[in-house]
Amino acid sequence: MATSREAGASRAHRVLACLESRKNLTGSACGLVGLALTFTGIAGAYWPIVVAGLYGAGALIAPPERPAAPAFPDPSSQLDEVRGDFITLREYLTSVELPPAASGQLTELLTRYEALLDPGWVADALATDPESVYVLARAVRQDVPEAVDAYVRTRWWTRLAPASEPPERHLVRQLGVLFDEADTLAVALRETESHRQQTHTRYLEERRGHRPGAS
């Protein structure tokens, strides 16, 4: 019973969509022109052919239906999700014991991430660059957790079978790379704001017909 009801609703939806389509509306408008020609006597005895022909012509010249583009989350909403993941990451890191060198470097890295994610004009500037949002999201969700987890697992095995290179050395190197990456994001944002300021200066000077160095 439910299946039959759903099938009937689907057919009704398709019929309604056809009636509301651009082709049908344009064809109907042209068909009305044909009816007007019939009432004025211009179409004569061939009025059914005239009406049908005008309807078909209108349906042919009507623009095709354009499906709505998918609505993906914008960078601002993605940053909100990254902020939530960043809180989860910090909670995880509080339960991990790290060597002093790596712990200090990780603290600096998290401070940089926190500054970039802080709601306000900094985050607004970051949201204008989807690639930067992706880089930051990848670092929070993948790079930092993987670096710390790999250290924890390798350290356990090193206790059983000592290795020539201590695992904390790799962790420090990885955190250093991630800090440089975060620093690059910050520099890019600064340069963007600097360029915006310079552009506004040129605009104001050109608006007043003034050039630097002009008397």
Q: Are residues 187 and 82 in the same domain?
A: yes
Q: Are residues 95 and 173 in the same domain?
A: yes
pLDDT tens digits along 43-66: 555 556 655 665 666 555 555 656
Q: Are residues 99 and 194 in the same domain?
A: yes
Q: Are residues 191 and 106 in the same domain?
A: yes
Q: Are residues 92 and 185 in the same domain?
A: yes
- Provide the pLDDT for residue 180: 95
pLDDT tens digits along 125-138: 888 888 888 999 99
Highest mean pLDDT among 19-23, 40-44, 74-78, 176-180: 176-180
Q: Are residues 140 and 176 in the same domain?
A: yes
Structural domain includes residue 214: no
How far apart, in Å, do the first and last CA atoms of the chain sit?
88
Structural domain includes residue 19: yes
Look over the chain and give the mean of its residue pLDDT values, rounded to a whole number.
76
Structural domain includes residue 55: yes
- Provide the pLDDT for residue 42: 60
Give the chain's domain count: 2
How is residue 131 written in tokens?
């690639």
Q: Domain containing 169: what range?
A: 75-207
Structural domain includes residue 70: no
C-alpha span between 151 and 144 (Å, rounded): 11
pLDDT tens digits along 156-170: 777 766 766 788 899
Q: Which residue has the higher pLDDT, 162 or 22?
A: 162
Q: Angle at the Cα of 213 (from 211 to 215), degrees rounded to 5?
A: 90
C-alpha span between 177 and 170 (Å, rounded): 11
- Provide the pLDDT for residue 120: 78
Q: Are residues 16 and 82 in the same domain?
A: no
Structural domain includes residue 68: no
Whole-structure pTM value: 0.61
Structural domain includes residue 3: no
Q: Please, is 99 exposed, middle or buried when counting C-beta atoms within 10 Å of its C-beta (0-12, 13-18, 19+)?
A: middle
Q: Which of 140-144, 201-205, 209-213 has the lowest mean pLDDT?
A: 209-213
